[in-house]
Amino acid sequence: MIKRILLLAAPAVVAVVFAGVALSAGGKGSMADQARAAGWNCNPEVPIAGHYLHCSPPGKPSVADLLAGNTTAPSLELRVYDFTTEEFAGMESLMRADLYRGQPCHQDGQSEWGLLDLPVDYRACHRFETGNPPF
């Protein structure tokens, strides 16, 4: 009896699993395209720090805002994508330099967060490409 139930239920379970995988793939477009469609702000759309596209969450200041000095947000969490393939590379945390208290950035293999030279100074900790110094 259990074997019959398993034989009848298994194809349905497999179909549901495959449908879920297909839906979670997000359809057409790159991972960065999917982020943009969800409201993430990837401006300026230029490679930064080599070959990376940085996207901020919906409603939060963008990297363009940081570069123009149009924000003093205490911190930002950015999604980072390979600029060429637009595939997800990892995350970058930014903290306003005046709020930094010596937290280590283990992901970059450094004893402290890297200081970025922007109109308002921010420190950066990357959670991708471990061992590469920031800028």
Residue 16 lies in a domain: no
Provide the number of structural domains found in the chain: 1
Check pLDDT > 50 for residue 10: no
Other CB atoms within 10 Å distance of the CB of residue 83: 18
Give this prediction's pTM.
Answer: 0.71
More confident residue, 79 or 16: 79
The answer to whether the beta carbons of residues 125 and 113 sit under 8 Å apart is yes
Residue 21 lies in a domain: no
Kindly report the CA angle at 29 between 40 and 43, in degrees rounded to 5? 30
Q: Which domain holds residue 59?
A: 27-127
Query: What are 30-67's pLDDT values in tens digits?
Result: 999 999 999 999 999 999 888 999 999 999 999 999 99
User: How far apart, in Å, do the first and last CA atoms of the chain sit?
Assistant: 64
Q: 3-class SS at 132?
A: coil
Residue 80 lies in a domain: yes
